[in-house]
Amino acid sequence: MMKKIVEQHLAKLRRAEQAPEELEKLRRLLVERLYPAGEASLKQAKQERIPASAPDWYFEAELRRSGLWAMMERCYPSAQSQSQ
């Protein structure tokens, strides 16, 4: 079953390589599926600047609270996380 699905998908891609309009059609369908058009609900976010006099642990705690700490660790691993 899976092999048949993969073969169909590869056949579509091969046809798309030969016909640029087919490739554009596939791209458009993919984007429409992944990013459906619609109204996004917006909500007001309260932002407060971290004072320059705040200690390092306060800045780190804010990053952890917001979920940005994990992203920063993946992009810029610290010496502590590399040693683990």
How many helices (H) and strands (E) are present in the chain, helices listed first? 5, 0
Copy the structure tokens of residue 28: 């458009």
Backbone angles phi, psi at 74, to 5 degrees: -70, -40
Query: What is the model's pLDDT at position 18?
Result: 82
Query: What is the model's pLDDT at position 23?
Result: 79
Query: What is the model's pLDDT at position 45?
Result: 79
Query: What is the model's pLDDT at position 51?
Result: 85
Query: What is the model's pLDDT at position 74?
Result: 84
29-74 per-position pLDDT tens digit: 888 888 877 777 778 878 888 888 989 898 888 888 888 888 888 8
Query: Is the predicted pLDDT of residue 83 greater than 80, yes or no?
Result: no
Residue in 5, 27, 32 with CA at minimum distance from that of residue 16: 27
| Cα(83)–Cα(64) distance, integer angstroms | 20
Cα 73 to chain centroid distance, Å, stands at 16
Query: What is the model's pLDDT at position 81?
Result: 60
The domain locations on the chain are: 2-34, 54-84
Query: What is the model's pLDDT at position 14?
Result: 83
